[in-house]
Amino acid sequence: MTKPALRNDVRIIDTTLRDGSHAMAHRFTETQVRDTVRALDAAGIEWIEVSHGDGVGGSSFNYGFSGTDEMTLIAAAREEARTAKIAVLLVPGIGTVDDLKRAHDAGAEMVRVATHCTEADVSPQHFAAARELGMETVGFLMMAHRTDPADLAKQARIMVDAGCECPYVTDSAGALLMHEAKARFEALLDEVGDEALVGYHGHQNLSMGVANSVIAYETGVRSIDGSLCALGAGSGNSPTEVLAAVFDRLGIDAGVDAGLLLDAAEDVVRPYLQRWPKMDRNAVVQGWAGVYSSFLLHAERAGERYKVPAHDILRRCGELGYVGGQEDMIIDVAITLAAERDEA
């Protein structure tokens, strides 16, 4: 296996149409997808991720039903892209190999297989299937703050040995401070950097996404995620348009037009935003307590239903160590907090 070739100093993978699905309650329309892909493609973005926020197969009662079938959205994105390619997310246990094959048939050429940061051993069959399909392979080590750099590197090794071409430090909670992020970048580069690219996916819950992206590049990371208008779970992702402007100021060639990305954010994405991701109390608590970013809307709905503050729900989820895939436990936490309130 050889490293994927880079066209520029760094590649920005835009995840507006996947991580942004969380903030949109998974209600993207085909028109929104087509308009966004055209704008990103014109700006020079190389890879555009499109799928349910929890990955292919994620449309469900537990995670939220998609407004439009994600295979329809993937196919629409593929039709609109002229030079960009389409990526999808797959979480083992949510998505299946059959879902991956359907996404590939719809036009996806990259899969990002996402596991909890200590559970990379559930990913090999999905990497094997993707390689058989001829897809580029990325591995998301989610909630990367929840294990130390050395163990995270061991998990990256499992992924690379299984066929992953680019393992990611995935800061799903937006919890990593700059020195913590750097230590993880260095550990992965030391372990697999000769064989694979290393990537970074940041969230803005503690306002570290862009800063950590700069540190990632300076350390040797060459695949970095962003979303237009920061559209994503929690307080959102590192904004693609801001990453482009910062990299341009630093003289780093990302192969994109920062001005066109600013236009895409302001003229295409902003008009359809249901909510603009922001660093409000709930989102900051997520980063502070290390809570999975996609828990935000679930906690807010549960808080409204059971009349308890969403930030208290999120803080308790952090104390209990819940991870992605345990969204159903948020209701249990809300009920428990309501009972504690009534007993007080």
Q: Report the alpha-carbon distance of residue 108 to residue 110 in Å, rounded.
A: 6
Which are the contacts of 20, defined by CB distance < 8 A and separation ≥ 6?
Answer: 28, 53, 227, 228, 231, 232, 237
CA angle 199, 200, 201 (to 5 degrees): 130
Residue 179 marked as a ligand binder: no
Tokens 């949510």 belong to residue? 94
Residue 19 marked as a ligand binder: yes
Catalytic (active site) residue 311: no
Residue type, 276: W
Going 262 to 6 to 226 to 99, the CA torsion angle's sign is positive
Residue 54 marked as a ligand binder: no
Residue 18 marked as a ligand binder: yes
| The pairing of beta strand 223-226 with beta strand 85-90 | unpaired
- Among 304, 305, 247, 296, CA closest to 275: 296
Evaluate whether 156 touches 189 at the Cβ level (below 8 Å).
no
Residue 201 marked as a ligand binder: yes
b/e map 288-303, b = 16+ CB within 10 Å: bbbbbbbbbbbbbebb
Which are the contacts of 150, defined by CB distance < 8 A and separation ≥ 6?
Answer: 187
Q: Which of 22, 26, 52, 126 is catalytic?
A: 22
Binding-site residue set = 18-19, 172, 201, 203, 292
Q: What amino acid positions are annotated as catalytic residues?
A: 22
Binding-site residue set for substrate = 18-19, 172, 201, 292
Binding-site residue set for Mn(2+) = 19, 201, 203
